[in-house]
Structure formats: structure tokens, C-alpha cells
Amino acid sequence: MTSWNILVADDLSAEGLEILRRCGTVTSHKGMSEDQLRDALPSFHALVVRSATKVTRRSLELADHLAVIGRAGIGVDNIDVDAATERGIVVMNTPEAGAVTTGEHAIALLLAMARRIAAADASMRRGEWEKSAFTGVEIRGKTLGVLGLGRIGSVVAERGVGLQMQVVAYDPAVSQQSAPTGVRMVELDELLGSADFVTVHVPLMPATEHLLDADRIGKMKPGAMLVHAARGGIVDEQALCDALDRGHLAGAALDVFEKEPLAQDHRLLRTPNLVVTPHLGASTKEAKRGVSLDMANQIATCLKRGVVLNGINVPRIAPSEATMVGPYLDLVHNLASFLVQVFPGRVQSLRLTLQGGVPESAASSLTVAMLSGALAHRLEGPVTPVNARRLAEQHQIRVHTESSSMKRDFMNLVRVEAVLDEQRHQISGTVLGQRHGRMVELDSFLLDAIPEGPALVTWHADRPGVLGELGTALGRHAINIARVQLAEHDGQALGILNLSQPLTDDAFAAVASLPGIAVARAVV
């Protein structure tokens, strides 16, 4: 069993740490600089961060063993995803656990801004009682514009409908049919020009940096209010201050900033009608526990089984699909690995066929699993779910995936076909009891075998005594046979022997030289 080394560089709950300790050796070290992280990472297989630790290209330069970076939270702008991808490192986040908490904080900011709660509180603490100075506005019947209708934006939109607001939203990836009930999809300019309250919930990326700049803030309805609880940098802070100073906007509430922590002399802190909080969007007991547990379980699943949940730079599998899809990921990976080990030659093409109840939504993830399994035994250097497709393209390997309605003896079936040096071979498998992967076909041989190494595969004469000679030869070299599966086709027999320990070179040579053995292959 591999001993995994896991570095936790930011806060994680005690329950999350315990899950990770059951998976490997855990080191907690908060507040690491870029140099400290760079020096530490070469000895770790997994890194867990929240928003404080910055994972830069330079910090990853020596991380030759790092397989996965887990962001306990949603935004990954503190991680250089491109640099991680180039090194074949999986990046994953936890988009579910903090969505409600962050959405609720946005609604809290909206209400605090509409009713001027922060300013009224500060006034009372100065010994004042100025009711008329803090007249607010009702939100009922007002138009709420939601910019970005992902998980958090959907939470805010649904709460807005519940508060009897007229909710409009802008998101190029969401159709009207997919929008929450009571939400009308509009273009960005219409949203800005019609909304009394605008709330921002898009990720930070080059296309969204300063999405709300001076021009777009100027298009907002005069007297409107802005809530920003997404990521710093999406709103141009100087342009926002200008709009508040001249009265174009009646108010704003920010939980995130272009540079955090916010400097004490920052202009925002001197701007009127502004509510600020120190990046509290995911700061609830429930969310902190939820993201810790989710991330710890995802890291453990990735390290132990190679299954990536909520991947950023690999095809995404939601945790709700893991029970169904996970065993097929293992199976497809193992089938492809098995196939290219028992048949020699350069890999020219790979085809994956899905049949029955194997979900088509997982086709991309299953294709990557096939490529990872096959190419790991054909290419130098690490092959991971992150770089498998790119490596296939670089080596001009044709890749195809399809779903088939052909009738077979199994409810669910996956088949991997490979062309190696112009020779086509295929291997099929299924999952028994949602857990146990089985190989049920290898070329023309029907069988029930476990497609995992260490194993010995033989094509041999279909006559009495061959299996006994085989077992004797292995026994002389202290190689124990854990499981045997035999199949016959056209007078030739196929043997698949799962072994308790890997074959030594001497043991393999002894087996291959037996008179009844036509071909022998070792599977690792």
C-alpha cells in the first residue's frame, strides 16, 4: 500500500484532518511563504489549501511527486491551475458545501445596505439617535439582478424570489429553461439598466477581471445598489468609489477585495454608503465543517482510487455520481492497462464503448480513465487524468468514445478497443454489485477474470497437464497463485492467473519456456 504524504497549508477541521490521517501522513503548516511552500512540496503527494495560501507556478517547480491540489472552497484563483495542469497535477474544489452560506451572506449584505444597518449601528455607538438620517428602502417588489447563475447565484436568486423581489439574471451558460423558477434571463446591459440591486456571483478569470468597470457601472440604474461577494478583482474598486462619491449609486456592499487584507488607508473605507466585511462569505460553522469534510473525502478518494471528484482541470464528476461512476472508472482504467500489457506494439488508436446503464454524462471521465490506463505503460513520464488527452494528441493516438445499444449478456458493459501496430484487440468488462470490476472478454475468449496485476497471462495448448506444469514452475520460484481463470476458443486456451506477488524475471522465463505455453505476458 502506498504511504501518502499530505500537506495541509490552511485551516481544516479536526474531522477533516482525521479522514486524511486514515489515508496517509498529514503535516499541517499554516502561513507558508512561496519559498517555504516551494521547498516543502517535493516530499508531498497532496496539498490542501483554502484561500490564504497562494500556489504559484514557482512554488510547483520542484513538486515532482504532487498528484493533487485540493481547494477547500469554491474559488481557485489562488492556485495557478495552468501550471498545475502542465505538471499533470489534479486541481479540485468543493463547490457544494459553501454555496448556501455564501449566498446567505450576499442576502445579508443586501439587507444591511438597504436598511443602512452598519451606519446606524456606528451612529448609536457614538451616542447618537438619528432616526431620520438612516431611512432605508424596502426590497419587496424591487428588481434584483443576479450576475452569474451558478450554485451561489442560484441560491441568491431563489432567496430573492422568496423575498418577493423581481429577479433577473445574466449568465451565458444558463438558458431560460434551466433557470430557477421565477427568474428571468436577460442580457447584461438590460440587467444593469433595470435592476435596483445587482449582486455579483461569477468566478474570477481573465474574461471577468473588472467585468464591472467604470463603463458598466455607469450603465447601472441611477440610485441602484451593488453587492459583491464573489472574488476580488471582478469589480473595479476605484470606479465603484467614483460612482458612490458622485451619487450615481445609492450604496454598495463588499465582502471581497482586489487585495486582501484591505489596507487601513484604502479609499473604500472613506467612501460613503458602503458596507464592508472581511471575506466572510463562507465563514459559518456549517460551511467550514462541510468544506473540510468534502475536501478530505475527495483527497482520500483521489489518492486511494484515482477517482477525481469536482475536478477543475479534469472532466468533472459530482460526488452524487461517485457511487455509480467510480467503479467504472477503476474498471476502464484497469481494462485499458491490461490490454496494452498483454498485446505488444505502438498504440495507434483507442476506442471506448459504453452499454446499458453506464451514464453517458461520465463518458469524458471514462475516456480519460482509459487513456491514463493505456498510456502509462507506453509513454515515459507521469500519465495522469490531467495530461492524458494532451499526451494522446501529441503522440497522434486516435481516440473515440461511443454509446451502444447492442444486446449483450450484461446489463452494463464497457469495452476498450486498441489498435497496436495495425492489429486490433479488445477487452470488455462489467461491474458486479456496484463494486467488483470483472473482465468478461479478451478478444474472442469469454471469461470471468479480475483485470488487475500482478498477473500472468498465457496462451497455451488446450490439453491436460499444462496448468499443472505452470503451477509447478511458479511454485519453484515461490510465486503463489491467488486466482485462476481459464477460457477456450478454437482449440487454444487462455489462462489468466492473478498472483499474490509480482513475477520475477527468472519465474517468467521458466513459465515462458514450458513446452505447452505458446505466449506468456506479465501484467503489473
pLDDT tens, residue by residue, 471-500: 999 999 999 999 999 999 888 899 999 999
Is the model's pLDDT at 351 over the cut of 60?
Answer: yes
Is the model's pLDDT at 280 over the cut of 70?
Answer: yes
Q: Does domain 453-524 have CATH number 3.20.20.140?
A: no
Higher pLDDT, 310 or 315: 310
What average pLDDT does this structure show over 44-69?
Answer: 94
Higher pLDDT, 366 or 387: 366
What does the pLDDT look like over 258-276, one tens digit per residue? 999 999 999 999 999 999 9
Instruction: Give φ, ψ of 390 to 5 degrees.
Output: -65, -40
Instruction: For residue 65, give the C-alpha cell.
Output: 511527486
Strand 274-276 relative to strand 249-254: parallel, antiparallel, unpaired?
Answer: parallel
The pLDDT score that the predictor gives to residue 176 is 96
**Of 15, 128, 187, 260, which residue is the catalytic one?**
260
Instruction: Give φ, ψ of 135 to 5 degrees.
Output: -70, 125
The pLDDT score that the predictor gives to residue 409 is 65
Rounded CA gap, 74 and 148, in Å? Answer: 14
Listed in order, the ranges of the chain carrying CATH 3.30.1330.90 are 318-438
Rounded CA gap, 175 and 171, in Å? Answer: 8
What's the fold here for domain 99-276?
Rossmann fold (3.40.50)
Instruction: For residue 82, give the C-alpha cell.
Output: 495552468
How far from the centroid of its chain's Cα atoms is residue 202's Cα?
18
Listed in order, the ranges of the chain carrying CATH 3.40.50.720 are 1-97+283-313, 99-276
Residue 122: C-alpha distances to residues 119, 137, 198 (Å)? 5, 19, 25
What does the pLDDT look like over 67-100, one tens digit per residue? 999 999 888 989 999 999 888 899 999 988 889 9
Instruction: Specify the 3-state DSSP secondary structure of 264.
Output: coil
The pTM for the full model equals: 0.69
Which single residue is written with the C-alpha cell 472552497? 73
What average pLDDT does this structure show over 449-454?
Answer: 90
What's the fold here for domain 318-438?
60s Ribosomal Protein L30; Chain: A; (3.30.1330)
Rounded CA gap, 208 and 514, in Å? Answer: 67
Would you place residue 254 in the very low, low, confident or very high pLDDT band (cuts 50, 70, 90)? very high
The pLDDT score that the predictor gives to residue 1 is 45
Query: Which of 1-15, 109-123, 310-324, 443-457 has the highest mean predicted lDDT (pLDDT)?
Result: 109-123
The candidate with the shortest Cα–Cα distance to 253, out of 284, 282, 225, 231, is: 225
Rounded CA gap, 300 and 284, in Å? Answer: 24
| In this structure, CATH architecture of domain 1-97+283-313 | 3-Layer(aba) Sandwich (3.40)
Kindly report the average pLDDT of the chain as a whole number.
92
| Percentage of residues in the chain having pLDDT higher than 90 | 74
The candidate with the shortest Cα–Cα distance to 455, out of 419, 515, 412, 502, is: 502
Q: Would residue 260 show up in a list of annotated catalytic residues for this protein?
A: yes
Rounded CA gap, 520 and 172, in Å? Answer: 56
Would you place residue 411 in the very low, low, confident or very high pLDDT band (cuts 50, 70, 90)? confident
Residue 129: C-alpha distances to residues 120, 122, 125, 378 (Å)? 9, 11, 10, 77
Rounded CA gap, 233 and 243, in Å? Answer: 17
Listed in order, the ranges of the chain carrying CATH 3.30.70.260 are 453-524
The pLDDT score that the predictor gives to residue 405 is 65
**Of 71, 87, 216, 279, which residue is the catalytic one?**
279
The pLDDT score that the predictor gives to residue 282 is 87
The pLDDT score that the predictor gives to residue 406 is 56
**Of 116, 228, 231, 333, which residue is the catalytic one?**
231
The pLDDT score that the predictor gives to residue 2 is 60
Higher pLDDT, 317 or 90: 90
**Region of poorest pLDDT, from 5-9, 29-33, 305-309:** 305-309
Would you place residue 117 in the very low, low, confident or very high pLDDT band (cuts 50, 70, 90)? very high
What does the pLDDT look like over 126-182, one tens digit per residue? 999 999 899 999 999 999 999 999 999 999 999 999 999 999 999 999 999 999 999
Is the model's pLDDT at 200 over the cut of 80?
Answer: yes
